[in-house]
Structure 1
Amino acid sequence: MSTPAIQWYPGHIAKAERNLLEQLKKVDVVLEVRDCRIPLATNHPRAEQWIGNKGRVLVMNRVDMIPTEARHQWEDWLKSQNEAPCFTDGQHGKGVKSLVKLAQRAGSQVNERRKARGMLPRPVRAVMIGFPNVGKSALINRLLGKRVVESARKAGVTRSLRWVRISDQIELLDAPGVLPNILNDQDAAIKLAICDDIGQASYDHQRVAAAMVELLKDLQQGHVLHDRYQVDPADVTGETYVQMVSQQRYTGDSDRAANALLNDYRIGRLGSIALELPPVS
């Protein structure tokens, strides 16, 4: 292929990053949200630099979309990297109470310092950062117990920065998803597109659907495609598989077939599948 499968020209992303960097000066704790299906691909290369010495909570969202075994593998591996992840499901509220406690604990030093100076305590100021569509807005709505920020399973819903009060102890900044200006790792970019964690204008659906078929085969998950579409992917390329599904179900419309394949994965019709597992040391 002469051109990358995934490209983007994120003018609003660059603006969002500038705004976020300005707001980061005002926060005590960073909640870094990743997609459980692709925790490595949704690790922003500049997150560590942005966070610096602030309190941090690693939030592994969409835990409902991966098998329990994969969750345990990630939990063990992250702990071996001195991480203490909080696994959440923003759509259904799982893990949200733990997240509040971890955020308060991560920011507790702020009020300890204020007390030492004879100052009154104030709410801990936190910010939620991560790639577009990793579920930040859904998590915030769960934290508040009501819908106050727009939430959807598509990238780019949040376009502005806003503060919301979670409780007397925590104020939270809802920030737009921030993509790297350049993503050289096309394998990671493909996974972001499969999971709909970047804008749909950035990629060709047929190429991404074909790549998903190849990835599922590599992960020994090709059987889920056969079960769903009654078309065996074993001995064909991903591109050919999309064509076969289009002939069988969509009167040869490959774009409709590609969209159906991607959507079926994204909403769980293919089952709980982790597209990344921890590196083997």
Structure 2
Amino acid sequence: MTSPPIQWYPGHIAKAERQLFNNLKRVDVALEVRDARIPLATHHPHLDRWLGDKAKVLVINRVDMIPPELRVQWEAWFRERGETPYFTDAQRGIGVKTLAQAAQAAGRAMNQRRVSRGMKPRAVRAVVLGFPNVGKSALINRLVNRRVVASARRAGVTRQLRWVRLGQDLDLLDAPGVLPAKLNNQAAALNLAFCDDIGEAAYDNQRVAAALLDQVQRLQRETPFIPPDVLQRRYGIADQTHTGEDYLAQWAEASYQDDRERAACQLLNDFRKGLLGAIPLELPD
């Protein structure tokens, strides 16, 4: 079965991109939030051009959804390329205090310039941005230590930009998830679909679920990060012996009266909630 095409760019994403671009000139620091399972696919290809010389803090969220040894590898990989990644679990608040300190430190240069011009220091203005459903709003709630913005493990919850004050030193701008208008790399698009990081996209659940099964079984063979029996423990059918399409069909017949759509949705939901365990979909080069 060929990989399913993933298509998107709903109207609210286009509007969000315009709003975000217009507000970027007001911010000093950008907190770019990525999904730890797919930290390359969740990097917006135009972000660096948009930011110009503004300070950027790289946030790798959902670190609980990858093995600890892979986190070490990713940290080394990013540092080799001149970036310092800050790993967080926004749902539990892990790494958030260090991230807040990094954002404030990144904004100090702005205040130093203001003082040198005879102006008073002000709160650092930081925008929290990234693809849909990478955990931006949950991260803001943790930074502020209270629920100030809507947050859920699904895409499209944030629809408008909103400023939030964090003490006297930091103002945060919560931005809706922004996707590129077009993504030519369909492998990356599939990873976004697997993780539900693409908002209101158009795709076939059964084909995407089968593609996810194919990818999990391939990674089982090629990496040490995924247990060889991860699917069998969850669904009772031995893995590494079927195509994703065949596996989905057997599981649907055994558990859902041959309802493949229901089985596909359950599989995608299990993966997205971490019920299959800490399964990464991208690895460092």
Equivalent residue of 1:168, what SS?
Answer: coil
The aligned counterpart of 1:66 is 66
Cα contact 1:10–1:181 (8 A) shared by 2:
no
Cα contact 1:206–1:258 (8 A) shared by 2:
yes
The aligned counterpart of 1:103 is 103
Structure 1 residue 256 and structure 2 residue 282: aligned?
no
The aligned counterpart of 2:207 is 207
Cα contact 2:66–2:278 (8 A) shared by 1:
yes
> Superposed, which structure 2 residues align to 1:107-186 within 5 Å?
107-186=107-186
Could you tell me which runs of 5 or more consecutive residues in structure 1 were left unpaired when the two chains were aligned.
Answer: none
The aligned counterpart of 1:188 is 188
Q: Larger deviation: 195-204 or 38-47?
A: 195-204
Deviations 1:90-125 (A, max 9, x none): 000001101111001111011101111121110000
Cα contact 1:190–1:208 (8 A) shared by 2:
yes
Q: Distance in 2 between matches of 1:193 and 1:24?
A: 28
Deviations 1:2-44 (A, max 9, x none): 8952111321111111110000010000000000000011011
Q: 1:200 to 1:244 in 2, by over 3 A?
A: farther
Please tell me the residue identity of whatever aligns with 1:32. Answer: E
TM-score (norm 1): 0.96
Please tell me the residue identity of whatever aligns with 2:277. Answer: G
TM-score (norm 2): 0.95
Equivalent residue of 1:126, what SS?
Answer: strand
The aligned counterpart of 1:57 is 57
Q: Distance in 1 between matches of 2:2 and 2:241?
A: 25
Cα contact 1:193–1:200 (8 A) shared by 2:
no
Equivalent residue of 1:122, what SS?
Answer: coil
Sequence identity percentage: 60
Cα contact 1:5–1:208 (8 A) shared by 2:
no
Equivalent residue of 1:163, what SS?
Answer: strand
Q: Distance in 1 between matches of 2:189 and 2:281?
A: 12
Please tell me the residue identity of whatever aligns with 1:273. Answer: I
Q: Larger deviation: 30-39 or 235-244?
A: 235-244
Q: Distance in 2 between matches of 1:259 and 1:4?
A: 15
CA deviation after TM superposition for structure 1 residue 233, in Å: 2.7
Q: Cα RMSD between the aligned structures?
A: 1.3
Q: 1:3 to 1:86 in 2, by over 3 A?
A: closer
Please tell me the residue identity of whatever aligns with 1:77. Answer: W
